[in-house]
């Protein structure tokens, strides 16, 4: 995974208000993740087990209390609210996988298309951060499942359809199905932001950097304030060996972004670009 993809993941919004005050997250080492995966069949509970193993005793006890409360709640709106609180907790830990599990459970309570789409995006973000093949397969499948459910609930929503196409492209055995879905959206709505952005990202993944430059520039001609396109454009130019244009694209991103943490990472990457070759 490229540095800029990591930056995009790091820029994911933290939604909702946490029900606790938390410290820093302890991240499982790949070997520890694998050990847990090997002991469990991979499903939502196994994923939560991996996440919970990074917490202290006090935090685990608090989560157990809320989970027990959920077992006694029959009102769908109350169950949805509690599940979203759990998702918000894991968001504060930057644990996208555990957050996704709870977003999915919240969406199931309310049959919420946007909730399933949110779960899908978080499953994909988690997939970009793991190395274990069993866990990766589960995360991709879960993302696709949620996007498919969301498109069933909201069949006219092209944004969700584009996210499904993206998930199929990077996480299924039928990537061409996802590509065709994205191309179909662009044919229907040529300036569709998400579909064009996913296709531009795909061009980078497949090392078609000139195509990526064209798509990112098209996006910026339509949506000049869409900062993430400048990140992708910077990466594409860097991979093409055009450091001046890569630097300019990232400087343009800095002019639009307000996130100090992401800006610091971009600044670090700019230093690396100026001192290295692709």
Neighbour tally for 176: CB within 10 Å: 10
The whole-number average pLDDT for the span 85-110 is 93
The confidence score (pLDDT) of residue 277 equals 56
Task: Name the residue among 190, 257, 249, 198 with its Cα closest to residue 222.
Answer: 190
* 128 has pLDDT over 50: yes
Distance CA 146, CA 99 (A): 13
Handedness of CA 263, 265, 271, 273 (dihedral sign): negative
pLDDT at 163: 98
At residue 253, the pLDDT reads 94
**Separation of alpha carbons 138 and 144, rounded Å:** 10
For residue 11, the model assigns a pLDDT of: 35
User: So what's the pLDDT on residue 41?
Assistant: 66
The residue among 218, 238, 227 whose CA lies nearest residue 262 is: 227
The secondary structure of residue 66, as a DSSP letter, is H
Q: Is a pLDDT exceeding 70 seen at residue 29?
A: no
Position 64 pLDDT exceeds 60: yes
pLDDT per residue as tens digits for the range 129-186: 887 788 999 999 999 999 999 999 999 999 999 999 999 999 999 999 999 999 999 9
| Cα–Cα distance, 201 to 207 (Å, whole number) | 10
Q: Are 82 and 70 in contact (CB under 8 A)?
A: yes
The mean pLDDT of 107-135, rounded to a whole number, is 91
- pLDDT at residue 16 above 80? no
User: Once rounded to an integer, what is the mean pLDDT over residues 91-119?
Assistant: 94
Domains in the chain with CATH codes: 1-155 (no CATH), 184-273 (1.25.40.10)
The secondary structure of residue 19, as a DSSP letter, is: S
- The predicted pLDDT at position 20 comes to 25
Helix axes 158-171, 193-205, angle to 10 degrees: 10
Give the chain's end-to-end CA distance (angstroms, integer): 15
184-228 tens-digit pLDDT: 999 999 999 999 999 999 999 999 999 999 999 999 999 999 999
Tens of pLDDT along 17-28? 222 222 233 334
Q: Per-residue confidence at 96, pLDDT binned at 50, 70, 90? A: very high
The reported pLDDT for the residue numbered 76 is 85
> When comparing pLDDT for 29 and 244, which is higher?
244
Q: How far is CA 136 from CA 90, 126, 218, 274, in A?
A: 19, 8, 32, 34
């Amino acid at each position: 995974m490229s540095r800029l993809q990591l930056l995009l993941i790091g820029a994911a919004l933290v939604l909702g208000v946490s029900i606790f005050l938390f410290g820093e997250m302890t991240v499982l080492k790949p070997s520890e993740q694998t050990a847990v995966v090997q002991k469990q069949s991979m499903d939502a509970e196994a994923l939560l087990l991996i996440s919970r193993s990074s917490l202290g005793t006090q935090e685990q006890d608090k989560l157990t209390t809320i989970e027990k409360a959920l077992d006694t709640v029959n009102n769908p709106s109350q169950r949805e609210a509690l599940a979203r609180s759990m998702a918000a907790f894991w968001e504060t830990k930057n644990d996208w996988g555990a957050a996704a599990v709870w977003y999915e459970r919240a969406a199931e309570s309310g049959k919420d298309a946007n909730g399933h789409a949110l779960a899908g995006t978080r499953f994909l973000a988690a997939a970009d951060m793991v190395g274990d093949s069993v866990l990766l397969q589960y995360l991709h499948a879960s993302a696709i499942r949620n996007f498919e459910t969301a498109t069933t609930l909201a069949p006219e929503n092209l944004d969700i359809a584009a996210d499904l196409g993206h998930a199929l492209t990077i996480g299924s055995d039928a990537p061409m199905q996802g590509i065709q879905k994205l191309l179909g959206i662009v044919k229907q709505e040529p300036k569709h932001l998400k579909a064009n952005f996913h296709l531009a990202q795909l061009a980078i993944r497949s090392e078609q950097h000139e195509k990526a430059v064209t798509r990112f520039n098209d996006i910026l001609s339509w949506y000049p304030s869409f900062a993430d396109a400048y990140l992708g454009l910077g990466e594409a130019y860097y991979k093409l060996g055009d450091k001046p244009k890569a630097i300019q694209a990232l400087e343009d991103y800095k002019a639009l972004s307000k996130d100090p943490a992401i800006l610091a990472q971009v600044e670090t990457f700019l230093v690396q670009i100026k001192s290295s070759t692709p």
